[in-house]
A = this chain, B = another copy of it.
Amino acid sequence: MQLRMTNQREIILRVLRSNKQHLTADELYDVVKKLMPRISLATVYRNLEILSDAGMIGKLEISGRQKRFDYDPSDHHHIYCAVCHRVDNLPDNCQGVKQKDLGRVRGYSVTGYRLEIVGICPDCQALEEKEKKGDE
Contacts and interface: CB of A to CB of B under 8 A. Distances in A.
State how many copies of this chain the complex holds.
2
Interface in A80-99: 81-82, 88, 90-91, 94-99
A114 B120 contact: no
Given A79-B106, A105-B117, 20 more contacts: A61-B64, A63-B64, A63-B114, A64-B65, A88-B108, A90-B106, A94-B102, A96-B96, A107-B125, A108-B121, A109-B125, A110-B117, A110-B118, A111-B119, A112-B118, A113-B116, A114-B114, A114-B115, A114-B117, A115-B115
Interface of A: 61-65, 67, 79, 81-82, 88, 90-91, 94-99, 102, 105-122, 125
